[in-house]
Amino acid sequence: MTAPAPARDRGAAPGEAGGTPALHRSTDTALGTIRRGLRLSPEFARGLGLTLAFAVAATAGKVIVPVAVQQIIDRGLVPDGRPDLGFVTTMVAVCAGLLVVTMVCSYLMNLRLYRATESGLATLRRKAFRHVHDLSVLTQNSERKGALVSRVTSDVDQISTFMQFGGLMLIVSAGQLLIATVLMAVYSWQLTLLVWICFLPLLFGVRWLQRLLSRAYLKVRERTGEMLGAIGETVTGAAVIRAHAIEDRTAERIDTTVHATRTAQVRAQRLAMAVSPFAEIVAAVGNAAVVVAGVLLGLGGAITPGQLVAFLFLMTLFVTPMMMATEIFNEAQNAIAGWRRVLGVLDTVPDIADPGPAGRTLPRGPVGVRFEDVSYHYPDGPTVLDRVNEEITPGTRVAVVGETGSGKTTFVKLLTRLMDPAEGRVLLDGTDLREVAFASLRSRVVMVPQEGFLFDSSLGDNIRFARPEATDADLTTAITELGLADWLAGLAHGLDTPVGQRGESLSAGERQLVALVRAYIADPDLLVLDEATSAVDPDTEVRIQRALDRLTRGRTSVAIAHRLSTAEAADEVLVFDAGRVAQRGRHADLVARPGVYADLYASWVRSSA
Amino acid sequence: MVSDDSGGAAAVPPGMFRRGMRVLWVAIRTEPVVFLVATAGASLHAAVTVASASVLGRITDDVILPAFDSGRTTAAALATAAALLLAVGLAKALGLAARRLYAGLMQYRMQARYRRSVSRAYLRLPLAWHHRHPTGQLLSNANADVESAWQPLAPLPMAIGSVFMLAVAAVAMVVTDPVLALVAFVTFPVLAVANVVFQRRVAPVAARAQALRAQVSEVAHESFDGALVVKTLGREDTETERFTASAHRLRDAQIEVGRLSAVFVPAMENLPNFGVLAVLLIGMHRLAGGAIDVGDLVQMSYLFTLLTLPIRSFGWILGDLPRSVVGWDRVQAVLGAEGAMADGTAAVGGSGGLRLSVRDLAFSYEDGYSADPARPGRDLADTPGTDAARTTVLHDVSFDIDPGRTVAIVGPTGSGKSTLTTLLMRLVDPDTGTVSLNGTDVRDLRRGEIARTAALVPQTTFVFEDTVRDNVTLGADIPDADVWAALRLARADSFVAALPDSLDTRLGERGTSLSGGQRQRLALARAVVRRPRLLILDDATSAVDPQIEAQILAGLRDTDLAATVVVVAYRRATIELADEVVYLERGTVSDRGTHAELLERSAGYRSLVTAYERAAADRAADLAAADTAPAGTPPGDPGDPRTDDADTTQEIAR
């Protein structure tokens, strides 16, 4: 049995927390889903008629041998029982020729099918991949990353399996049954009826079995997911497990899930194989019935001996489709589910969209920012930003401070248009952010998030991500300008240092340094820093801070600060409290007045200075 | 980023067949009974299949043709024919059921067995080993590799049954007519050869497609993981190009697989049909010569039709074998990995805080290793261009800490602080030197003793997919009151109380997710609930708001926990809580003393700890200077045209 690849969250509903902008869930019918799915990849339909014609020809080839057997028995033997060798030779030659033709048709059909489906599915992958990136951060985060990945990988693979195997088998099987039935009916309608009476119950049984089976497979996937999760903890939680010596308990938990998986697999296997023995028994009953009825019919001259033998050959064409049926239905179901999930991505309208060709381009130069009556609340959530009206003059360096949950991160996300305000407007140089073309926005406004994500590549490539045309010399200059030349010199392979998956060969602090350089080399007019130096030591932080002070001169910068040393260095401080800007001004002034900022500062001083 | 043109590495290794057979033999030896039942079922099915052709031939000769010739038949003849056909069908069904059920059973049992072994190995192997292997690789060892190692077990009984079937069929054919048997002896070897050629040709291409499929997934994973960076830098187009290139390589490889199948599969399916035509042609000549009768001819033709599928089952095994061997090798690499830490038998004596002594400690790692215990490093083999050079992290580290004292470990980024904490907990062993708890070398302590007496709170911790309670107790039998007390001490009680199911709320990827600061506090509760005699905090409150951190530290000081505390910290408040400071620089103890003493005599320490104050002072000076001489020339970036008008928008004078 080939249990479909375990995808842990297939069909699960993450992000069910009310109202989060989760991915669209398709409610199309099975047929509607297939129709829309096929339309998504125009490559599928291209030349489909010819491919189907080849498929019909290839399938028709299956009856060549039974017909040859019948012809030779009935007409190859002259009445005295001696063979008519001339007729036999001609017959065999013709049949061999026809076999060659069907083989060629089969080759062409397969080739065209693979070309069309693979090209179509590559298009589908690309569309879905691009769409995921077009979705807003909020929507992206409503799904687990693994679940998003499976929409462009395993979900598409399931469609591919169906198109190249299950779907093809479905067509071939249907064709095979049809052609065999037609030929049988030509020989004898009574026997044909008999054969169908034998096989029909099996066909219904298969459908029923398949429903049980798809439930059993679902169980297998769920159990496998749990098992892999448990085994995964021994790897990702290796340090904690050792530090607390909970190896035995962990092993027990794994054993439980491994056992549950095996039980589910064996149960599914029992159902999956059940149809084959039944098909054998039905075929035997059919064979016996055909022989008995055929001989009796033959006595009345309604059928020739060759036709009767050919019947027995043709009945083998009935058995394979029955044995394959559960597998085919199962694949069809998986493919439809796969299409549904891919469509779910494509049907999700990006809530933060590029204004398109109508989008405006911001002129270069320091950016001014204005928040006009801006409020924000997460869908169905409490208000996190409440009618904020603030203006940031071009070229100012602003620090944003506040306790966890005060709204400072939301402020920054609205400023970089990772989210749109629920009410009010955010304006850059007087233009509503929603009207600014993405290309212009992303080149002028660059944010350095707290977790500096790096790609599994070299240090230099990661910095170059922001500006692909930058030379190594450009990179070195940028690093030196940020006061990080010593750090670079300390790396054994310099710019060629591999950073590892997600940059994990570097320390958290070093990752932040790379992210900073990357943002700097993008040369933005508005630089937004979200606690971008939280993991580096104070000495280095202060050094970077100084370099940034110098380098952001002439640009606007907004920095969320966890350590208030950043606020001390800023031109202005925005103090957030409960979704509003509670205070605003220079550090020196704010700290002298009683208020939120003075309190924050006092506790910061107590803890670090 | 995933490199562009790998994926061709999966050629078929030499000696594949023999090695594959050896893997299968392991399974047969492990599950002999299940294997025998499956093989017996397969053989029964095979024998009956051959017999069914013979039955058909007899029925043609003895029942059908006489009836048609004479126009008469007997009920007895018909009943015998029907009974024979039914008996054959039943026997076939029985054999088939036994074969498939037990083949599956064998496959799943072996999978389960090896998944257990692999995860046992993960638990046994030291952290240093984990650091050398990427997470994704270890997960696929336990999943995909175990699966593909035992994949050929599913068609194995059928293939063995097919050998048996071929032997029986050969005998049956020779007995029926040696001349017609020759047709089979030509046809079936040709079919077998075509099969082997096909598998040989398709295996590397299929393996390549498999590798490319993994690559498509890797690219997508990485790109979605970095979605925020992609978005904020506006790189969606280039990322889509990178993904599309990867998807197109997969497409081309798949089409190549399809092309090979399109050539070989129809050929293999039709080869027996040509055989039947040959049998008919030659058979009619034999019939003319009186050597055989019509029944023999029908039997031979039918046999050809029936033998097609079993012969192809060899192909399925051949197709699975290369992946099986590769999977097996990978699994064996895990199971055979050495370096489990040996435990001693000693116990930590006494009660109350532990005495900690560190003597001449040195530690180095191969490049590519990650110092952060929560983040596994890269496998060196995967990183071209790196020679396995070792980087020294710690050397000549010696210090003692008296019971009940609180000592801060301070040092710049990369000075080896985190590594030191993992050595203290014996998560890794040093190259040289010793760590002792109450005078006993940690390597001589019995298994689990360190975890019973000491607790480490790392900077980033791991949250199990389980309830809050379980994440704190880790399965130990601890009353809820104590759990709450620990959460209170870690200032985690209020957010836990606010969770939907309080202590019973499920956490982790599929449960509620916690913020970095919340996770840190949970990890702290996890440590203090065990009432450790040595508590090691590795920058464990870095993501917590300063105010809350202050409360936590005050709470720790006032608690009745009689523990020795080692705390890695940057924040001055944390450092000042300590009785003493050990200052690390470039992997060794540079100085040791009270905060005041170090401030006095260690330049490096002073520079690190007073960085913020100095920065503030410098700024005050700058400001004073700026007031007297406003709008000084901005340093740097002369090539940037925007600096021209920068000054005008600069300082907002107040």
Q: List C-alpha distances in Å: B25 to A233, B29, B111, B149, B159.
A: 32, 6, 15, 12, 14
Report the distance separating Cα A65 and Cα A75, nearest Å: 15
Residue B100 forms contact with A (CB below 8 Å): yes
> CA-CA distance, A110 to A114, in Å (whole number)?
6
Residue with tokens 């985690």: B492
pLDDT in tens, B404-418: 888 888 887 767 788
* pLDDT tens, position by position, A327-366: 788 788 888 888 888 888 888 888 888 887 888 888 888 8
Q: Which of A 231-250 lie inside 8 A of B, CB atoms?
A: 231-247, 249-250
Name residue A431's beta-bridge partners.
A428
Q: Which domains does chain B have, with CATH numbers?
A: 16-335 (1.20.1560.10), 356-373+390-611 (3.40.50.300)
- CA distances to A406, B40, B157, B159 from B165, rounded to whole Å, are 77, 12, 12, 9
In a domain, A10, yes or no: no
CA distance B493 to B528: 14
Average pLDDT of every residue of chain B: 79
- Return the closest-CA partner of residue A130 out of B254, B248, B230, B1: B230
Q: Which among A121, A126, A396 has CB closest to B240?
A: A126
Between A124 and A328, residue with greater pLDDT: A124
Chain B CB contacts of A308 below 8 Å? 64
Asked whether B160 and B39 are in contact (CB, 8 A), the reply is yes
Chain B residue closest in CA terms to A490: B414
Check A114 against B135: CB less than 8 A apart.
no
Question: Is A593 an 8 Å CB contact of chain B?
Answer: no
- Among candidate residues B479, B468, B475, B535, the one with its CA nearest the CA of residue B508: B468
Asked if residue A2 belongs to a domain, the reply is: no
- pLDDT at site B635: 38
Q: How far apart are CA A210 and CA A233, in angstroms?
A: 34
pLDDT given for residue B112 in this prediction? 93
Cross-chain Cβ contact A107/B263 below 8 Å: yes
Out of A119, A240, A247, closest to residue B461 by CB: A240
Residues A463 and A585 reside in one and the same domain: yes
Q: Which residue has the higher pLDDT, A149 or B582?
A: B582
Q: Work out the mean pLDDT of chain A and round it to a whole number.
A: 82
**CATH number reported for the structural domain that contains residue A452 in this entry:** 3.40.50.300
Poorest-pLDDT segment among A126-130, A387-391, B194-198 = B194-198
Model pLDDT, residue B199: 80
Please give, rounded to a whole number of angstroms, the shortest distance from the CA of A583 to a CA of chain B: 16
Q: Is the dihedral of CA B41, B43, B45, B51 positive or negative?
A: negative
Best of A78, A111, A115, A149 to disrupt the B interface (most B CBs within 10 Å) is A149
Same domain, A376 and A343: no
Q: Which of A23-27, B60-64, B516-520 has the highest mean pLDDT?
A: B60-64
B238 touches chain A (CB under 8 A): yes
CA distance A30 to chain B (A): 26
Domain membership flag for residue A35: yes
Kindly state the average pLDDT of the residues B66-91. Answer: 86
Last residue of a domain, one of A312, A347, A382: A347
Interface test with B, best of A271, A408, A458, A542 (most B CBs within 10 A): A542
Q: Is B2 on the interface with A (CB under 8 A)?
A: yes
% chain A with pLDDT above 70: 94
The count of other CB atoms within 10 Å of the CB of residue B465 is 18
Tens-digit pLDDT profile for residues A263-298: 999 998 888 888 888 888 888 898 889 888 888 888
Q: Do B130 and A249 touch (CB under 8 A)?
A: no
Own/partner pairs, B635-643, CB within 8 angstroms, 24+ separation: B635/A550, B636/A481, B636/A550, B636/A551, B637/A481, B637/A551, B637/A554, B640/A523, B640/A554, B642/A364, B642/A365, B642/A366, B642/A525, B642/A554, B642/A555, B643/A553, B643/A554
Over residues B471-488, the mean pLDDT reads 86
Q: Are residues A410 and A510 in the same domain?
A: yes
Do A184 and A265 lie in one domain? The reply is yes
Q: B-contacting residues of A 314-373, CB under 8 Å?
A: 316, 364-366
Structure confidence at residue B259 (pLDDT): 92
CB contact under 8 A, B637 and A481: yes
- What predicted TM-score, i.e. pTM, was given to this entire model? 0.77
- Angle, vertex CA A301, rays to CA A296 and CA A305, nearest 5: 75
Q: How many helices, marked H, and strands, marked E, lie in chain B?
A: 23, 10
Give residue-wise pLDDT tens across range B157-216: 888 888 888 888 888 888 888 888 888 888 888 888 888 888 888 888 888 887 888 888
Start-to-end CA distance of chain A, whole Å, equals 66
Q: What is the pLDDT of residue A99?
A: 92
CB-based contact, A229 to chain B, within 8 Å: yes
For B:363-422, CB contacts with A below 8 A are 367-368, 370-378, 383, 385-386, 389, 391, 412-414, 422
Lowest mean pLDDT among A149-153, A377-381, B274-278: A377-381
Q: Is A235 within 8 Å of B138 when comparing Cβ atoms? A: yes
Q: What are A466-474's contacts with CB under 8 Å, separation 24+? A: A466/A518, A466/A519, A466/A521, A466/A522, A466/B233, A466/B235, A467/A521, A467/A522, A467/A523, A468/B238, A470/A521, A474/A521
> What is the structure's pLDDT at B8?
37
Whether A37 and A176 share a structural domain = yes
Residues A306 and A442 in one domain: no
Q: What is the mean pLDDT of residues A481-506?
A: 79
Q: Determine the pLDDT at residue A20.
A: 54
| Interchain CB contacts (distance < 8 Å): A and B | 533
Q: What average pLDDT does this structure show over B132-144?
A: 79
Mean pLDDT of A168-196: 87
Three-state SS string over A194-247 comes to HHHHHHHHHHHHHHHHHHHHHHHHHHHHHHHHHHHHHHHHHHHCHHHHHHCCCH
- Give yes or no: residues A377 and A284 share one domain: no
Q: Answer yes or no: do A253 and A338 share one domain.
A: yes
Span of A228-237, A502-511, B141-150, B558-567 with lowest mean pLDDT = A502-511
Chain-chain contact of A73 with B294 (C-beta, under 8 angstroms) = yes
Residue A171 predicted with pLDDT over 50: yes
The residue of B125, B612, B652 whose CB has the most chain A CBs within 10 angstroms, and thus the best one to mutate to test that interface, is B612
Per-residue model confidence (pLDDT) at position A260: 94
Q: What confidence score (pLDDT) does residue B303 get?
A: 82
Which segment of B142-146, B255-259, B347-351, B595-599 scores lowest on mean pLDDT? B347-351
Whether residue A404 sits in one domain with residue A325:
no
A336 and A379 assigned to the same domain: no
- Is residue B512 a contact partner of residue B506, using CB atoms and an 8 Å limit? yes
User: Tokens in use for A153?
Assistant: 């990988």
Q: Residue B247: pLDDT above 90? A: yes
Asked whether residue A24 is assigned to any structural domain, the reply reads no
Which range is least confidently modeled, A23-37, A177-191, A288-302, B396-410? A23-37
Q: Which residues contact B301 (CB under 8 A, 6 or more apart)?
A: A65, A69, A313, B276, B279, B280, B283
Q: Does some domain include residue A480?
A: yes
Restricting to B residues 116-135, those with a Cβ less than 8 Å away from any Cβ of A are: 116, 118-120, 122-124, 127, 130, 134-135
Pairing of strands B588-593, B580-585: antiparallel
- Domain membership flag for residue A363: no
Q: What is the pLDDT of residues B535-546, one digit of tens each?
A: 888 877 777 776
Tell me what pLDDT residue B251 has.
92
The pLDDT of A494-503, averaged and rounded, is 80
Reference B118, options A264, A239, A251; nearest CA is A251
User: Which structure tokens are listed for A339?
Assistant: 């299409």
Degrees, nearest 5: CA angle B392-B395-B396: 170
Q: Do B255 and A308 touch (CB under 8 A)?
A: no
DSSP A584: E
Residues A376 and A517 in one domain: yes
Last residue of a domain, one of A313, A330, A347: A347
Which residues make beta-bridge pairs with A376? Answer: A385
Tokens of B208: 């390549």
User: Smallest Cβ distance to B1: which of A461, A523, A540?
Assistant: A461
A339 and A475 assigned to the same domain: no
Residue A274 falls inside a structural domain: yes
Mean pLDDT of all residues in A63-69: 85
Cα angle, residue B592 at apex, residues B586 and B594 outer, rounded to 5°: 135
Confidence at residue B373, expressed as pLDDT on a 0 to 100 scale: 38
Q: In DSSP terms, which residues pair with B435 in a beta bridge?
A: B358
Is pLDDT at B369 greater than 70 in this prediction? no
Interface of B with A in 463-502 (CB under 8 A): 464-465, 474-475
Q: Does B651 touch chain A (CB under 8 A)?
A: yes
Interface of B with A in 591-610 (CB under 8 A): 607-609
Q: What is the mean pLDDT of residues B329-335?
A: 86
pLDDT at B101: 92
Domain hosting residue A257, numbered range: 30-347
For residue A205, pLDDT over 80 is answered with yes
Please state, in angstroms and rounded to a whole number, the distance separating the CA atoms of residues B233 and A600.
32
Question: Both tokens of residue A556?
Answer: 């606007």
- A105: confidence class by pLDDT, cuts 50, 70, 90: very high
Q: Do B372 and A456 touch (CB under 8 A)?
A: no
Q: Under DSSP, is residue B580 helix (H, G, I), strand (E, B) or coil?
A: strand
Convert the pLDDT of each residue in B420-469 to its tens digit.
888 888 888 888 888 888 888 888 888 888 888 888 888 777 788 788 88
pLDDT at A3: 38
Across the interface, whether the CB atoms of B612 and A283 are under 8 A apart is answered: no
Query: Does the residue A164 lie in any domain?
Result: yes
Task: Decide if pLDDT at B353 tops 90.
Answer: no
Is the confidence at residue B519, as pLDDT, over 80? yes
| Residue B115 burial by Cβ neighbours in a 10 Å radius (0-12, 13-18, 19+) | buried
Q: If you ran DSSP here, which 8-state letter would residue A447 be given?
A: E
The CATH number that applies at residue A238 is 1.20.1560.10
Number of domains in chain A: 2
d(CA B509, CA B466): 10
- Residue B648's pLDDT is 29
What pLDDT is stored for residue B480 in this prediction? 87
Measure the CA–CA gap between B172 and A387, rounded to whole angstroms. 92
Q: Do B112 and A262 touch (CB under 8 A)?
A: yes
* Residue position matching structure tokens 């006009």: A372
